[in-house]
Structure 1
Amino acid sequence: MSSELETGGFPFRGDYQENRPVFTLGYHDSKREQPLSELQYGYLLNQDASELMALHHFKSRVFKVVSDHLATLKANGEKGTSEATANRADPILLPLTPEDTGMFPSQAVNTYVAYTSPWIDLCSNDPVIANISRQVLNLEINYASWCGVKSIIITGPGRDASKDGGSQGIAQYSRAVQEALTIAPAITILIHIAMYREPTVGTQVETLSSLNGEDASKSSGEDIDIFTTWDSWHQIRSVCKYNPRLLVALKMPRVVPEKDLQNRWFCEPLHYLTFGPEVFQKNKIGYPSLTKSHQEVIFAYMRLKNAPWLLLCDVGPDVRHITEDGKDENASLTEADFPSLEEAHKPAFRVSTESNVHCDYLRWLERQQPPFSALETPILTNFQDWLQSPLQPLSDNLESATYEVFENDAIKYDQYELAIAEALKEWSELKLPTSKPGVVVMAVAGSGRGPIVTKAIKAAESTGVKVEVWAVEKNPNAYVYLLRQNAQKWGGKVNVIKTDMRAWKGPLISDSPETGPVYGKVDILISELLGSFGDNELSPECLDGIQHVLAKPHGISIPQSYTAHLSPIATPKLYTDISARAQTDSNAYDTPWVVSLFSLDYVAQKVPGHPRFQQAWEFSHPIPDSTLEAIAARRSGGVVGGTGGSMAGAAGANDHNSRFCHLTFVARTRGVAHGLAGYFESTLYELKAGPNKGRKTEISIHPERIDAKSKDMVSWFPIFFPLKQPLYFPADTELEVSMWRQTDDTKVWYEWLVEAWTWVGPSTRVKVASSELCSSRKLACLM
C-alpha cells in the first residue's frame, strides 16, 4: 500500500473537498503474493495497495522446518522449553531467498505498506513455535527496512490476556513487537487488531500452531468481554513504552459495539480502519453497504486531525488479471483506464470499473458526512491535541498576535457586553449611588488591546447610562495601542493608565500642590484574567490586589465568580507527546498543559451522586472585608502561623486563595487514565432584583454546559494535568482525585494525586493503583 502518497486515495470533487473530511482508501489482498507490476500499480495509482512480505514458498519452508523439528522431539520423547537448556536446540531459520519474497528495492517500495506473514503465532505457548514466529518476524522486518519500506502491518494477537491463559502469549507478543521496533528504527509498525473479538468470527489463516494441535485462531463461540482486545493492545503499547512509531490498524466488526468501546478506540493512535467482506451488507439493489452504526463510527473517527485511512481487505478491485503485456484477461481496457501522472494528480480523476463497487460506495459515503462546523476550521483543527504551556500574563508581556487570537472570539465579548449592560441597567433601575456624581465609573483591569473597553462603551450606549471608562494595562506595548485606539476609535472618551493593576490607586480626581493627588473609586471593575482552569492565570491574586479601588458597598466585579472542574481522561497521544518531551524537558510531566483535547476518552461515567465532570473549587469577587483585614494583618506581621505560605517562610497573605478538593469518579469499565482534564465556568453577572432576579450571564468551557452558556466560544482550550505513569484500573473502580492550589505569597502552583479503589465487599474497598503526587511548583505562576 502506498503510504502518505500525494495522490493516495480517492480524490474529491472541488465542491465538497474543503467542507468534509477526506477519505483515503487502500487495499489489502491476502491472496496476492506477487508484488504489483508497474502496470497494475498504475491501475491502482489513486487507490493504494498493501504488499505481503513473503511468498508461499517461504511459508512452506518454515512449516517444514517446524514440522520436522516437532516430529523429532515427539519421536525422542522430548519437549521444547524456554526455561532451561533444551536437549535439542530450536531450528535457526536461514535468511530470505529470492524465492521467499517478491519485494525488492525499487522506486516505489517506500510507498508500500508491507504486511508480515499472517501465519506466524507470536502468542503461542509452545516455545518452539513462539521462537520460530519471532525469527520470521525479525527476518521480515529487517528485510523490509533494508528495502526502504516505511510502514509494516503485523497481524494482531490470536488470543487475549484475560482469556484462556493468554497472558503469557500477550507478554511474548509485546516483547516481539518491542524488539521489531528496535530492529527497524525507521519503520512504523501497525498492529492489525479487532475492535473486539466477535464470538462467531474467526480467521481462516492456517498458523504454525496448527502443527502441534494448538489453534488460537478458532473462536470459542461464547459471549465475550468486548474490552479484551483493547486490553491486549494496551499491554503491547505499554511494553513498547508508548512508542510513537507504534500505531493501530483497527478491524471493523460486523456488529458495532457500545459507545464506551468506540470512544476507547477513538483516542488510540489509529492509522487504518480495515473492512473485510463480512462487514458489508447488500442493499436492496445488491450493492455493498454499511449499517448506520458503522457509518456513525466512520464519521466520528474521520473528524480526527490525523484521520485514519480506510483499508479494504479482500474486497475491491482485483488487479491480478491484468497481465504484464497490458492485457486484461477479463476485459478489454483502453488508454482512458490508465491515467498519466499529471491526470492522476487532478482532483477530478477517478478509476471506474465494475469491481470498484465497494470503493464507489465509500466515495458516496464520503459525501454523506456532515459538513465541517464553524469550530472545525483548519486553524482550530490544527490545535487538536497540541500541547501549549499556560500563559503567565503577570510575569510576561503578551505579544500582539496573542491578543489578536483572543479577540477573534466574538462569543466571549458578546457575553461580556451583555453582562456589562445588565449591570449598568440594574444599577440605573435600583438608583444606586455612584462614586462620581452623575456617572457610573467603570475600569477595565488588564485591557490588552481594548476589546472589552469597546464592549463597555457599547453597553453604555445601548442602556443610555452615562459612564466614565478607565483602561488599566501594564504591557507598555499594548499601552501604546490603547492610546491609539482612544484617539481613533473611542473619541478620547477613555482614560488610559499604564501600570500594574495592583499598584493602581484609582481614578485620579484632582492633583494640586496643596492636596496632592486625590483618587476616587470604581463602581464596576471589569477584568479578562481567566485561564483554562479559571484561576490558573492568577485572576484571584490580581483582583484581590485591585479591590481597594472598588466602591463600597455596591461595587461590582465582572466576573463575579468562577469555578474549576475536573474529569479523569485517557489520552494516549498526549502521553506519548509528553514522554517525548521529557527526554529534553525534565518538567514535562509536571506542567499543566493547555490543549484542545480531542483524541480522548472520559473514563468516568455519569452515575447518581458522581457526575462525569465535578467541581473542584470556586472563587468569588469582591472578597469579604474580613478577608481583606486578615490579609493586612498577615502582611503587617500581626498574625503568625497557619499553613501554606506561612509555613514556607512567607507571611501567608495569600493563603485565602489556596484550595483543596477531593473528588470521587466512577469507572464502570476497565481502562487507563493518563491525567486530568480541567475546565472552568464563570458567572459574569447575576441580576440582584426584579422579576429576573438570579438570571446569570455566563461563559463556560464545561463540555456538558458550554452549548447552553456560551456556544461556540473558543477563547479557552481545556487544561491537562498529566500523570507520570498511566494508571490502569479494573471495571467498577472508584477513581479518587485529590488536588491542591498552593501558594507561598510569591507564586501559585498545583499538586494532584489520583487513586483507584475497588470494592471487595459490602463495606470494604482496596486500593488497586495510585499515581505519584504530581506538582507544578517548579513551573509555578509568579505573582
Structure 2
Amino acid sequence: MSQSYMDQESDGYSEIRPTFFIGQHDSTRSEVLTESQYGQVLNAGFGFVTTSITNQVFHKRVVNLFKAFLLGTKNTEQAGSIPDPVVPPLTIEDTTLFPGTYTSGLVAYASPWIDLCSPNHVVSSISRQVLNLEVSYANFCGVRSIIVPGPKHDVAKVGNGQGITQYARAIKEAFSIGTRVNIMIHLPMYREPGLEDKVELLSSGEDASEATLGGQDIDLFSTWDSWHTIRSVCEYDSRLFVALKIPRVLPEKELQTRWFSEPLQYLTLNPRTFQVNRAGLPSLSRYHQAMIFTYMRLKNAPYFLLCDVGPELQAEPDNNPVATVDFPSLAEAATQQSANSSSNTYQGPNTYAAYLRHLEKQQEPLNGLEQTTLTNFQDWLQSPLQPLSDNLESMTYEVFEGDPVKYNQYEMAIAAALKDWAALDKPTSSPGGEVVIAVAGSGRGPLVTRALRASEATGVPVKVWAVEKNPNAYVYLLRQNQQEWGGRVTVVKTDMRAWKGPVLSASQGYPMVYGTVDILVSELLGSFGDNELSPECLDGIQHVLAPGRGISIPASYTAHVSPIATPRLHADIRQRAAGGAEAHAFDTPWVVRLFALDFVAQRGVPGRPRFQQAWEFAHPLPRATLAAVEARRAGGVAGGGGGSMAGAVGANDHNARHCHLTFVCRSRGAIHGLAGYFESVLYEPAAGTAAADEEQEEEEEGGVEDDGGKVELSILPENIDRKSKDMISWFPIFFPLKEPLYFPPDTELEVSMWRQTDDAKVWYEWMVEAFMWVGPSQRVKVGGSDMCSSRKVACLL
C-alpha cells in the first residue's frame, strides 16, 4: 500500500525543502528493542525509536509497594504516623536499557502510569520517585532526550491547580538529577473530546481520561495554560521542550500560532489523527498539511513521532541447532527454514511513514534567501548598531548592500524627486544648473550609485557629494569614484553634522564659500525608524539644505509596536542575563528576525489594531524649531533653558516622544515583550507633477489603492508585501519584559513608551499593564510589568 505514495516521488525533486525526521513510538512497548527489531523499524521507514526506561517487572513491584502501604495504613490506627513508602533502586530485572554505542540515539519515554498530579500525596510521592529514578538512570546510560507524559487534567480545571504545580515542581527536580538530558512534555494541542489517551494510573487502575460531557464547552487554551505553569516553574529552562499531540480536528489559528511560538521538539500523530483516502491509505487534511508546512519553516523544525502505527515486530529468531539430531533430514530442514522465513517476513515501508515522506515533497521549496540568510537569522538576538559612535566594518556594509529592494526604492524616490524638480522648474543650488545631491552617511556608496542612475534615467543633470565620517569607508569611496563613478562625485570625510555644505569657492586668501544642497539622501533608519539616531543626524545636517525648496529622502518615518509572546527569546535573554556577561540583557532593545512568535492582540478591533503607531518624525524640520534648538544650545532661553532631563539644556527635547496605546486580547496568554517596526515615506511627489500623475495612472490601471504616488519602505508585517516586498535590510526590534506578563481572556493591554534624551544620548523606556472590564464603566488592573529602560545601553550622540 505504501508503495502508492513512493511511486509519486518526482525525479525532479532537487530543490531544497525542510527535512522530515520521523520516529516511531509504541505505547505498549516496555522493553528495549533488540538489534533485529531495531532494524525492522528502520526498514519500515523510521529514523529513530522511543524506548521505555523500566519494564513491567518494575511496574508490578511499584504497584505492590503501593498496595502494601495501603494495607498497612488500613490496619494501623495512627495512619498518619506511617512515612511515605520509598521506591528501592533499580535492579537488573527492572530494565533492559543499558549503556551502549547506540543509546545516545534513543529517545526515552518515562512510565505513563505515574501520576505526578495526584491529590493523594502518597501516589504523587511514589510517582516523583519513579520519575527521578528513571531520569537518573537514563542520564547515566547516555540517553539525551526523555519524553514525559503530560498532566491528564489542566490547571484551568477547578481543583486541579495543585496538581499542575506538583507536576511542574517534579519536572524542575528532574532537571537537577538528569544534568545532561532534555525533557519533552507530551501534551495535546487541546483536550479533544473522546480522543484522550487511556492510561491506567498507579492510583486507581481506572481510566485516567474523563469523558467530556455532551454539550460541555471545550477550553482550547487550558493545555497551554498548564504548559505555561510548568515552564514558568522551571524558569524557562533551555532543556525543556514540548512534544505536541496533533488532534484530528484542528483548532482555530490563534491556538496553532500560540504553539508555533513555543519550543516544539516533536509533533506526535497517532492513527486517529489521520483520515483514509480513496485508495485506503492514511492522509491528513489540507488544514493539517498547512499547519505542518508552517511549523517546518522554523530554523529548529520539530521532529515527527508516529505513535502506535506499527510495524508489528518479530521476536528474535531461534538460531539454536535442532536438538534431536545433529543433521536434520531434508523434511526437518525445510520445516525449520520455512518457520524462520515466516518469522522474518519483510513487511515493507510503513504506510504512515511513507505518507509523511510524500508530504515532505509537497512543501514549497526554500527560496534563496531562506537557504542562505533568513533561516539562519531566525530569533537570533543582535545588539542595535551605533553608527555615530562606532565605525562599521566592510562586511557589515556588504550585508546591507545585499538587499536590492531597498536601493530600488531609493532610486525610484530620487528619480521622482528629480522629475518633480525639472517639472516645477525649481532653481538649483549649483551655478551650472545641476541639482545638488548629498548622500549623508555614504558607507561604501550604494546610494551614490543609485543617485547617478536616477540622473541618467531622468535626464536631469546632478552634482553628487558623498559625506562619510568612517575613515576606512572614505578610502573605499575614493576608489569607487575613481573606478566606478568616473570622478563625478565629490567625496568628503567628516561627520555629517559638522559639514558646512558644498564648496562653491576656495580661492587662496579669501574665505571659503559654501553652498546648499537640493536633495539630501540618507539611509540612517533603524528597525524602529529612529533607533539609530536618524532624527539627530538629519537635524545636524539640515543647515546645508536649501531653504524652502530642499528635499529630504526619507521625508518621514513612523514607529509601530505590538505586544508579542516569544518564549524562545525570553529564555535566551534570561540565560544571557543570568550568566553575568550581559547584565543589561533585559534592558536592551534587540534587533532580531522575529519568527517563532505569537501576536497576542486581536485583529480587526475598531480603533485598536494589532499594530499601532507609536510616533513619527518628519524632515526637514521647520526653521523655527531649528532656531529654538540653537537658542537652547547657546543658553539663550529665559530661565536657563533646562531640558526635560537633569543637567540637559533641552537642545534635543524636540526629538523626545511618548505614546500610550491600548491593545485588545480575546484569549488569555502571556507576553514577553514588544515587537517594534517602522514605515518610511522616502518621497511623495508634489501634486500635479508628472511623477505623481504617472504613479496615479499606474495604480488605477492595476486596481490598487491610490497612495498619492508615494515611494515607501515598510517592515510592518501587514504592509511589507504591498510597499517593499522581499526587502530584508531591516529586521524588527524587540523590547523585552523582565518577567513574562500573564493576562486573562478579554484583556486590554496598555503599552506606554518613551523616547528619552539628555542631549548626550537617546534611550527608550517601556512598560505594559493589563486591565480587565468588571462592569460597563469599570476596569481593574490584573497585572503589569516593571518599568524597563535602555538608559544604561543608550545610543550616544
TM-score band w.r.t. shorter chain: over 0.9
Partner of 2:293: 299
Partner of 1:459: 454
Q: Which amino acid aligns with 2:102?
A: A
Q: CA deviation at 1:19?
A: 2.0
Within the alignment, does 1:699 sit opposite 2:699 as a pair? no
Q: Would you say the 8 A contact 2:645–2:757 is kept in 1?
A: no
* Range 159-168 or range 727-736, more displaced: 159-168
The 1:117/1:14 distance shift into structure 2, 3 A limit, reads farther
Partner of 2:312: 318
**What aligned pairs does 1:402-441 form with structure 2 within 5 A after superposition?**
402-437=396-431, 438-441=433-436
Q: CA deviation at 1:514?
A: 4.0
* Range 354-363 or range 386-395, more displaced: 354-363
Q: CA deviation at 1:329?
A: 6.5
**What aligned pairs does 1:40-55 form with structure 2 within 5 A after superposition?**
40-45=37-42, 47-55=47-55
Q: CA deviation at 1:75?
A: 4.4
**What aligned pairs does 1:56-67 form with structure 2 within 5 A after superposition?**
56-67=56-67
Q: Secondary structure at the match of 1:458?
A: helix
Q: Secondary structure at the match of 1:169?
A: helix
Matches of 1:73 and 1:649, distance apart in 2: 74
Instruction: Return the TM-score normalized by structure 1.
Output: 0.93
Matches of 1:473 and 1:448, distance apart in 2: 6
Matches of 2:11 and 2:384, distance apart in 1: 39
- Give the counterpart of 1:150 among 144, 150, 154: 144
Partner of 2:159: 165
Within the alignment, does 1:734 sit opposite 2:748 as a pair? yes
* Range 661-670 or range 67-76, more displaced: 67-76
Partner of 1:343: none
Q: Which amino acid aligns with 2:679?
A: E
Q: Would you say the 8 A contact 2:640–2:649 is kept in 1?
A: no
Matches of 2:304 and 2:358, distance apart in 1: 14
Unaligned segments of structure 2, at least 5 residues: 1-8, 321-336, 694-707
Q: CA deviation at 1:210?
A: 1.4
Q: Would you say the 8 A contact 2:37–2:315 is kept in 1?
A: no
Q: Would you say the 8 A contact 1:316–1:359 is kept in 2?
A: no
Q: Would you say the 8 A contact 1:565–1:680 is kept in 2?
A: yes
Within the alignment, does 1:71 sit opposite 2:71 as a pair? yes
Within the alignment, does 1:753 sit opposite 2:788 as a pair? no
* Range 405-414 or range 577-586, more displaced: 577-586
**What aligned pairs does 1:30-179 form with structure 2 within 5 A after superposition?**
30-45=27-42, 47-76=47-76, 86-179=80-173
Q: Which amino acid aligns with 1:739?
A: M
Within the alignment, does 1:217 sit opposite 2:209 as a pair? yes
Q: Would you say the 8 A contact 1:280–1:290 is kept in 2?
A: yes
* Range 645-654 or range 396-405, more displaced: 645-654
Q: CA deviation at 1:109?
A: 0.9
Q: Would you say the 8 A contact 2:680–2:713 is kept in 1?
A: yes
Q: Would you say the 8 A contact 2:681–2:713 is kept in 1?
A: yes
Q: Would you say the 8 A contact 1:19–1:372 is kept in 2?
A: yes
- Give the counterpart of 1:186 among 180, 188, 192: 180
Matches of 2:78 and 2:313, distance apart in 1: 48
Partner of 1:378: 372
Q: CA deviation at 1:201?
A: 1.9
Q: Secondary structure at the match of 2:521?
A: strand
Within the alignment, does 1:633 sit opposite 2:631 as a pair? yes
Unaligned segments of structure 1, at least 5 residues: 1-11, 80-85, 338-352
Instruction: Return the TM-score normalized by structure 2.
Output: 0.91
The 1:642/1:753 distance shift into structure 2, 3 A limit, reads farther
* Range 686-695 or range 195-204, more displaced: 686-695
The 1:654/1:697 distance shift into structure 2, 3 A limit, reads same
Q: Would you say the 8 A contact 2:600–2:665 is kept in 1?
A: yes
Matches of 1:114 and 1:164, distance apart in 2: 32
Q: CA deviation at 1:209?
A: 2.2
Deviations 1:208-256 (CA, angstroms, capped at 9, x unpaired)? 1215x7x542233333201000000000000000000000100011110
The 1:556/1:62 distance shift into structure 2, 3 A limit, reads same
Q: CA deviation at 1:78?
A: 6.3
* Range 362-371 or range 313-322, more displaced: 313-322
Partner of 1:347: none
Q: CA deviation at 1:113?
A: 0.9
**What aligned pairs does 1:644-659 form with structure 2 within 5 A after superposition?**
645-659=643-657
Matches of 1:574 and 1:648, distance apart in 2: 35
- Give the counterpart of 1:712 among 713, 720, 726: 726
Within the alignment, does 1:558 sit opposite 2:553 as a pair? yes
How many residues end up aligned between the 2 structures? 747
- Give the counterpart of 1:587 among 571, 584, 588: 584
- Give the counterpart of 2:440 among 445, 465, 481: 445
Q: Secondary structure at the match of 2:749?
A: strand
The 1:452/1:322 distance shift into structure 2, 3 A limit, reads farther
- Give the counterpart of 1:721 among 707, 730, 735: 735
Q: Which amino acid aligns with 1:220?
A: T
Q: CA deviation at 1:318?
A: 2.9
Partner of 1:7: none
Q: Secondary structure at the match of 2:262?
A: coil
Q: Secondary structure at the match of 2:122?
A: helix
Q: Would you say the 8 A contact 1:641–1:647 is kept in 2?
A: no
Matches of 2:506 and 2:720, distance apart in 1: 47
The 1:324/1:566 distance shift into structure 2, 3 A limit, reads farther
Matches of 1:17 and 1:182, distance apart in 2: 45
Deviations 1:453-504 (CA, angstroms, capped at 9, x unpaired)? 0000000000000100000000001000000000000000000000000000
Q: Would you say the 8 A contact 1:32–1:320 is kept in 2?
A: no
Q: CA deviation at 1:331?
A: 4.6
Q: Would you say the 8 A contact 1:508–1:517 is kept in 2?
A: yes
Q: Would you say the 8 A contact 1:39–1:324 is kept in 2?
A: no
Q: Which amino acid aligns with 1:715?
A: S
Q: Which amino acid aligns with 2:627?
A: E
Deviations 1:129-170 (CA, angstroms, capped at 9, x unpaired)? 011100110111111111111111100001111113110100
- % of aligned pairs identical? 63
Q: Which amino acid aligns with 2:212?
A: S
Q: Which amino acid aligns with 1:554?
A: R
Matches of 1:731 and 1:608, distance apart in 2: 18
Within the alignment, does 1:271 sit opposite 2:265 as a pair? yes
Q: Which amino acid aligns with 2:142?
A: G
Q: Which amino acid aligns with 1:549?
A: V
Q: Would you say the 8 A contact 1:25–1:311 is kept in 2?
A: yes
The 1:329/1:194 distance shift into structure 2, 3 A limit, reads farther
The root-mean-square deviation of aligned C-alpha atoms, in Å, is 1.9
Matches of 2:317 and 2:492, distance apart in 1: 81
- Give the counterpart of 2:190 among 192, 196, 199: 196
Q: Would you say the 8 A contact 1:159–1:216 is kept in 2?
A: no
Within the alignment, does 1:251 sit opposite 2:275 as a pair? no
Q: Secondary structure at the match of 1:647?
A: coil
Q: Which amino acid aligns with 1:688?
A: A
Q: CA deviation at 1:416?
A: 0.2
Q: Would you say the 8 A contact 1:683–1:698 is kept in 2?
A: yes
Q: Which amino acid aligns with 1:470?
A: W
The 1:331/1:683 distance shift into structure 2, 3 A limit, reads farther
Matches of 2:409 and 2:764, distance apart in 1: 29
Matches of 1:18 and 1:93, distance apart in 2: 54
Matches of 1:323 and 1:621, distance apart in 2: 82
Q: Secondary structure at the match of 2:487?
A: coil
The 1:125/1:468 distance shift into structure 2, 3 A limit, reads same
- Give the counterpart of 1:494 among 479, 483, 489: 489
Q: Secondary structure at the match of 2:375?
A: helix
Q: Would you say the 8 A contact 2:110–2:146 is kept in 1?
A: yes
Q: CA deviation at 1:38?
A: 1.9
Matches of 1:580 and 1:225, distance apart in 2: 33
Q: Which amino acid aligns with 2:70?
A: L
Q: CA deviation at 1:379?
A: 2.4
Q: Would you say the 8 A contact 1:199–1:223 is kept in 2?
A: no
Matches of 1:381 and 1:643, distance apart in 2: 50
The 1:676/1:507 distance shift into structure 2, 3 A limit, reads same
Q: Secondary structure at the match of 1:210?
A: coil
